[in-house]
Amino acid sequence: MKNIYVKIKWFIKEEWKLYVFMFFLLVSISLISLLPARVLGGAIDTIISGGITNTSLATLVGALILLPLTRYLLSMVYNYLMNVEGQKLAYKLRKNYLDHLFKMDSKFYETYKKGDLISRVTNDLDAITTAATSLLEGIVFNFGVIIIAILIMGTTISWELTLVSVTIMPIGLTILNKIRYNKRKYTKIHREIYADMTEKVLESVEGMKVIRAYVQEENDLKKQYEAIDKDIESWRYIVNYENWFNPLFEIIYGLSYFLAFAYGTYLIINQAITVGELITFVSYIGMLLSPIISVSTIFSQINNATISVDRYDEILQAIPEVHDESDSLPIIKFNQIDFINVTFKYPFDKMPVIKNIDFSIINGQTIGIVGPTGAGKSTLIRQLLREFNTTSGEIFIDNVPIHDYKINDVRNLVGYVPQEHMLFKKAVDENILVGNPRARLEDLDKAVKIADFEKDIMYLTDGLHTMVGEAGTTLSGGQKQRLSIARALIKDPQILILDDSLSAVDAKTEENIIGHLKESRSGKTNIIIAHRFSAIQDADQILVLEKGVITQRGTHTELLKQEGWYKQQYIQQITMK
């Protein structure tokens, strides 16, 4: 309970006035809940004594009608406020979570799976919100009813009867809740299994085209069923635990009821209490059942929420290795970028992907990067996006280490078109405007033209307003590539990076795009990673990367004069035409 309070106390401080008001509402509801039994007990004694009158009868009936009505109205106000606070808390927790995710670096996303991250912001967050909103009601109302009832029973009826019948409750509850604590480890296991199931479902949805292409629907569905069954089995264990455990609370209540009747009858025989007082007392015992069960439920919610808080907080406490410092420098343009002895190894790899890289990029140059598959070309150029810190060596922008600049400013210098094109379930123009939401219509048209996407518009149902399927499923590979290029171009970046982004287009389309780029981006920096040399043969400098090392560098003409990989591949490509 303390752990949950510590994690959400910032919210309670923000909403403290409303929480105080809700507190007094609950106290009032607790008190009103106990009054009908007192009124009824007094009425029974009045009837037995023969003192009932029309006036007292009308007062009794009025009280028995007014008290439940008042409780209903107060409960309605409280439930409305509680739901509002619950939604507000859930919104802020999700916002904090998502804001934090956007701050994390690539290493974080290699550590945590998508399904796990989703389950923490859905299943775990729901458990936290439920516990946080029901905590006040559980503590104030249920304990309020219990404490006030016991005080009334002791002070107005009999302390002896109260001690005999009620003492068993706190003792039994304490023992049972200690036993229940063992369920916590099974709840944690269930959370992890649920995350694995979510990951499997996401994987199947995202990979449906491949699954169908290889006729693996049945095998994939079987794996999904296995993941679902595992989740159900882990939850079934928790439910079974509750099924045999919860009735134990009712046994404690039954013992209390029995002791109240037995010892209460003895007190009536000895004229220590009246029949009406015993009925009132037993009514109070009956009223304690619901709060006792509710308290046990709240302990269960707190138990589940404690696990969820730990899982949720684990993400929020994660610190990205790539982050801004308080004195990070702004940057909006550059003159020169220098890679000095740069080596990089992915966090979970054994060997470096690129080793001892040295080269410079002068603003306005076009750099071509070629090499065998897996040589580290994409890894090399993605160092400019600051997804990871370099393992060793340094990258300088205008003689200042790249990590001294603000991360967003460095990324704003770059328009990056990756090999895997991520498109959103939005209209075509909206997908392009992701690159620059404030772009003008003429900027949009220009980006579409440079990317050679104009010819496709006439075939789209609603032109640029045509909705794109999830992850671009309604577009061809070449259309997705050119749409991604247009998205980078509309940003009008200082550095345009095409990471093997022309592989799915035909030679004529590639020629058009390269021609448009030469014309529109003259004097700006372009970095082109390609397998077809036609895309980079006019570059100011071409780097040949083999096994993570630059083995050749120069212009197209210079490289053809050297014996090596570049000349061999060029001859092979010419021969294949």
Please give, one letter per residue, the 3-state secondary structure of 64-108: HHHHHHHHHHHHHHHHHHHHHHHHHHHHHHHHHHHHHHHHCCHHH
- Confidence class of residue 555 from pLDDT cuts 50, 70 and 90? very high
| 7, 24, 25 from 81: Cα distances, Å | 21, 13, 11
Kindly tell me if the per-residue pLDDT of 284 is higher than 80.
Answer: no
Q: Output the pLDDT for position 164.
A: 83
Asked if residue 367 has pLDDT above 90, the reply is yes
- CATH assignment, 2-316: 1.20.1560.10
Average pLDDT of the residues in 411-438: 89
pLDDT digits (tens, 9 = 90+) for 524-544: 999 999 888 888 999 999 999
| pLDDT over 70, % of the chain | 88
Q: Phi and psi of 492, rounded to 5°?
A: 50, 60
pLDDT (0 to 100) of residue 566: 92
Give the tokens for residue 204: 């199947």
Q: Three-state SS for 490?
A: coil
Asked if 490 and 444 touch (Cβ cutoff 8 Å), the reply is yes
Q: Are 301 and 127 in contact (CB under 8 A)?
A: yes
Q: How far apart are CA 249 and CA 557, in angstroms?
A: 87
Average pLDDT over residues 235-240: 72
Partners of 496 in beta bridges: 415, 526
Among 10-14, 368-372, 386-390, 572-576, the minimum mean pLDDT is found in 572-576
pLDDT of residue 142: 73
Comparing 13 with 472, the larger pLDDT belongs to: 13
What is the C-alpha to C-alpha distance for residues 381 and 369, in angstroms, rounded to an integer?
9
Phi/psi at 476 (5° precision):
-75, 170
Q: Return the pLDDT at 477.
A: 83
* Residue 171's pLDDT band (cuts 50, 70, 90): confident
Q: What is the rounded average pLDDT of the residues 104-110?
A: 85
Contact 502, 481 (CB under 8 A): yes
Largest interatomic CA distance in the chain: 123
Question: DSSP character for 427?
Answer: B
Q: What is the mean pLDDT of residues 190-204?
A: 78
Q: What share of the chain in percent tops pLDDT 90?
A: 27
Indicate the average pLDDT of the chain. 83
CA distance 516 to 306: 58
- Whole-prediction pTM: 0.71
Ramachandran region of residue 471, left (φ > 0), alpha (ψ -120 to 50) or beta? left
Q: Between 570 and 216, whose confidence is greater? A: 570
Is domain 336-576 annotated with CATH 3.40.50.300? Answer: yes
Domain span(s) for CATH 3.40.50.300 in the chain: 336-576
Span 369-386, average pLDDT: 91
- Among 100, 145, 436, residue whose Cα is nearest residue 287: 145
Q: Which of 208-212, 255-259, 466-470 has the lowest mean pLDDT?
A: 208-212
Integer Cα distance of 311 and 188 in angstroms:
9
Q: Is the pLDDT score of 244 beyond 80?
A: no
**DSSP string covering 131-173, please?**
HHHHHHIIIIIIHHHHHHHHHHIIIII-HHHHHHHHTHHHHHH
Q: Which of 180-189, 200-209, 460-469, 537-546 has the highest mean pLDDT?
A: 537-546
pLDDT of 279 higher than 90: no
Tokens standing for residue 350? 């054994």
> How are beta strands 366-370 and 392-397 bridged, if at all?
unpaired
pLDDT band of 297, cuts 50, 70, 90: low
Angle, alpha carbons 574-575-577 (nearest 5°) = 70
- Under 8 Å CB-to-CB from 53, ≥6 apart: which residues? none
Residue span(s) of the chain under CATH 1.20.1560.10 come to 2-316
On whether the CB atoms of residues 561 and 550 are closer than 8 A, the answer is: no
In this prediction, residues 25-53 reach a mean pLDDT of 73
Q: Please calculate the CA angle 400-540-353 and round it to the nearest 5 degrees.
A: 60
